[in-house]
């Protein structure tokens, strides 16, 4: 079978891992030919890539859209042409635009981070909690922050200081520097994204402060190695799987072959799969490090 794959430009570690993991997964299957479109943040170019896949009559398309709403019409066109579409990470506007959708759990990330912080602080009701978000106008950022606030609320805590960055190293460093200057005392920090976390860690090192602990987000390999060292304020990170597109390749293959997930009684592949957001600590880091991405 032939599977077309399209994703945004690999402008940070997580997105780069999305494409490389999809390619690695496809290479495992002798019956799969993968056609990879060049990563792009140009919506019109990505639409034209999908049009090309449709004209080439591929069997399936695995698509992480730069903009789910903008890519919905062309995904619908593919489905109407009898091509299996697997939607990854950013949802389309119509349920008819994809046979199956595989997602990370942004709200669950916030819940996991908040629950871990509550457990570590052990009922310290006056704890100062800080949050370094990603891009504030993205729905995923709101979901992560909402989940974090909900989990903290369950143990009587709330966010005292919050700043937003932009998922880049430079943005993370600047946002963290601003936070540290504004908050003379902090007990715990949740940073939404390990790519921007490289800059966050640099700002913390520059400040010379270590009275708090930090939880990362997404699950990069460098963050996990920092946790593994045992000599860092970074004590945990919450997974947002960079293997979603690889799972999308597997799902596409199963749907085209008319198969289901082996461990389910159901004879069809589910319409939607939301992946778990586990917390990685020094105790379980070796389990997650092999599939982590490099920031």
227 and 282 Cβ atoms separated by less than 8 Å: yes
Alpha-carbon distances, residue 184 vs 120, 171, 181, 251 (angstroms): 21, 21, 7, 49
Q: Is the pLDDT of residue 28 over 80?
A: yes
pLDDT bracket for residue 45 (50, 70, 90): very high
- Residues 54-64: tens digit of each pLDDT: 999 999 999 99
Start-to-end CA distance of the chain, whole Å, equals 33
pLDDT bracket for residue 12 (50, 70, 90): confident
| 3 state DSSP class of 255 | helix
- Name residues whose C-beta falls within 8 Å of residue 230's C-beta, 6 or more positions apart in sequence: 282
CATH of 106-240+282-291, one of 3.10.310.10, 3.40.50.2300, 3.40.50.300, 3.40.50.1820: 3.40.50.2300
Q: What are the structural domain ranges in the chain?
A: 2-104+242-259, 106-240+282-291
Q: Is the pLDDT of residue 82 over 90?
A: yes
- Name residues whose C-beta falls within 8 Å of residue 248's C-beta, 6 or more positions apart in sequence: 22, 62, 64, 86, 88, 102
pLDDT bracket for residue 125 (50, 70, 90): confident
Check for a shared fold between 2-104+242-259 and 106-240+282-291.
yes
Q: What is residue 79's predicted lDDT score, i.e. its pLDDT?
A: 98
- Tell me what the pLDDT averaged over the chain comes to: 96
Q: What is residue 205's predicted lDDT score, i.e. its pLDDT?
A: 97
Count CB atoms within 10 A of the CB of residue 97.
Answer: 24
Q: What is residue 169's predicted lDDT score, i.e. its pLDDT?
A: 95
Mean predicted confidence (pLDDT) in 158-187: 97
Instruction: Report the alpha-carbon angle 254-257-260, nearest 5.
Output: 45
Mean predicted confidence (pLDDT) in 118-124: 90
Distance of alpha carbon 79 from alpha carbon 82, whole angstroms: 5
Q: What is residue 208's predicted lDDT score, i.e. its pLDDT?
A: 96
Mean predicted confidence (pLDDT) in 267-283: 96
Query: With pLDDT > 90 as the criterion, what percentage of the chain qualifies?
Result: 97
Query: With pLDDT > 70 as the criterion, what percentage of the chain qualifies?
Result: 100
2-104+242-259 in CATH: which number?
A: 3.40.50.2300
């Amino acid at each position: 079978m032939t599977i077309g794959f399209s994703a945004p430009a690999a402008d940070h570690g997580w997105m780069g891992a999305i494409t490389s993991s999809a390619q690695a997964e496809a290479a495992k299957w002798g019956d799969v030919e993968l056609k990879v479109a060049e990563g792009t943040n140009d919506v019109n170019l990505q639409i034209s890539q999908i049009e090309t896949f449709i004209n080439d009559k591929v069997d399936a398309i695995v698509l992480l859209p730069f903009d789910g709403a903008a890519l919905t019409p062309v995904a619908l066109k593919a489905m109407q042409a009898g091509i299996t579409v697997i939607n990854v990470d950013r949802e389309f506007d119509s349920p008819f635009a994809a046979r199956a959708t595989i997602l990370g759990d942004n709200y669950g990330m916030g819940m996991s981070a908040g629950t871990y912080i509550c457990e570590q602080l052990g009922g310290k009701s006056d704890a100062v909690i800080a949050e370094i978000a990603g891009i504030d106008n993205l729905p995923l950022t709101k979901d992560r922050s909402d989940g974090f606030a909900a989990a903290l609320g369950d143990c009587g805590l709330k966010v005292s200081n919050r700043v937003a960055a932009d998922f880049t190293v430079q943005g993370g460093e600047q946002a963290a520097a601003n936070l540290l200057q504004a908050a003379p005392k902090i007990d715990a920090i949740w940073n939404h994204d390990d790519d921007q976390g490289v800059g966050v860690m640099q700002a913390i090192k520059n400040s010379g402060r270590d009275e708090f602990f930090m939880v990362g987000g997404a699950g990069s390999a460098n963050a996990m190695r920092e946790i593994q060292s045992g000599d860092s304020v970074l004590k945990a990170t919450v997974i947002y799987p960079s293997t979603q597109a690889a799972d999308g390749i597997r799902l596409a293959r199963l749907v085209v072959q008319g198969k289901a997930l082996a461990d389910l009684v159901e004879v069809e592949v589910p319409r939607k799969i939301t992946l778990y957001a586990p917390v990685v600590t020094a105790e379980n880091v070796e389990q997650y490090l092999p599939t982590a991405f490099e920031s």
